[in-house]
Amino acid sequence: MRIFNKEIINKEGQEVELMGWVATRRDHGKIIFIDLRDKSGISQLVFTLENKEIYKTADKLRSEWVIRVKGEVKKRPKGMENPELETGQYEIAVNFLEILAESKTPPFDVSTDGYKVNEEIRMKYRYLDLRRPRLQKNLKLRAKFIKFIRDFLTEKGFVEIETPIITKSTPEGARDFIVPSRLQPGKFYALPQSPQQYKQLLMVSGFEKYFQIAKCFRDEDSRANRAYGEFTQLDLEMSFVEQNDILELTERLFTELIMQIFPEKKITQIPWPKINYHETIEKYGNDTPDIRKNKDDKNELGFAWVINFPLFTKQTEKDFFYGSGKSKWAPSHHMFTAPYPDDIKLLDTDPGKVRGLQHDMVLNGVEVGGGSIRIHDPKIQEKVFELIGFTKEQKGRFEHMLEAFNYGVPPHAGIALGLDRLIAILQNEPNIREIIAFPKTGDGRDLMMNAPSEADKKQLDELHLKIIETKKNKS
Mark the binding-site residues, compressed into ranges: 172, 218-220, 333, 367, 374, 418-421
459 three-class SS: helix
Which residue intervals of 18-132 are DSSP H helices?
52-58, 119-124, 126-129
Query: In the chain, what's the furthest Cα-to-Cα distance?
Result: 93
Polymer length of the chain: 475
Residues 6+ apart with CB under 8 A from 402: 378, 381, 382, 395
Binding site for ATP, residues?
218-220, 367, 418-421
Using CA atoms, how far apart are residues 452 and 101, in angstroms rounded to an integer? 31
Using CA atoms, how far apart are residues 5 and 15, in angstroms rounded to an integer? 13
Using CA atoms, how far apart are residues 189 and 168, in angstroms rounded to an integer? 5
Say if CB 145 and CB 261 are below 8 A apart.
Answer: yes
Q: Which of 372, 419, 341, 355 has its CA nearest to residue 238?
A: 372
Pairing status of strand 90-101 against strand 209-218: unpaired
Q: What is the CB neighbour count within 10 angstroms for residue 329?
A: 22
Say if CB 96 and CB 69 are below 8 A apart.
Answer: yes
Binding site for L-aspartate, residues?
172, 218, 333, 374
